[in-house]
Amino acid sequence: MTEKQIKRIFEFKHIYLKDVSFESPLAPEYFSETRTSTSLDVDVNLQSHRLNDSKTDYECVLLIRVTAKSNGDVIFLVEITQAGVVEIRGFSDADTTMLLNIAAPNTLLPFAREAIASLVSKGGFPQLLLKPLNFERIYQQKLKADAQKAKGTHTEH
């Protein structure tokens, strides 16, 4: 390999559960009552930052909050912070940003989904399998929103 050829690396060094919380505020009464409607709210947040003085290592953090409500009452709340240390080398800044916003969360999501499913079932509720998320679409929406903010125009969703 010549000096002009730079090896491109995108590799997770560690994947870990950084924080987790499960609450079931209506237990045990909930299990003996008949509830007619259940709604599920899923909130996803993604954060990433360069580690210390490293030029190639980043922490990527996927935060997922799932709130289940029945008849307006919260029946359970799960919060998962799934994280990983990823090495990214040989990519442009734009490509690195895309990797941190699309590829990295795609790698972390199955771990977070499994943890959520496990916690919900251990809480006595039917298994909850979150649908896959389209991080490419989420990233494109973020870019569009950032561009609109930069122009000074904001549209309501």
Domain boundaries, the chain: 9-141
Q: What average pLDDT does this structure show over 88-107?
A: 95
What are the pLDDT digits (tens) for 43-60?
A: 999 999 999 888 899 999
The single-letter DSSP state of residue 54 is: -
* pLDDT for residue 154 is more than 80: no
Predicted pLDDT at 99: 97
Q: What is the pTM of this model?
A: 0.85
Q: Where are the alpha helices (DSSP H) in the chain?
A: 29-32, 93-98, 104-122, 135-151
9-141 under CATH 3.10.420.10, yes or no: yes
Whether 120 and 127 have beta carbons less than 8 Å apart is answered as yes
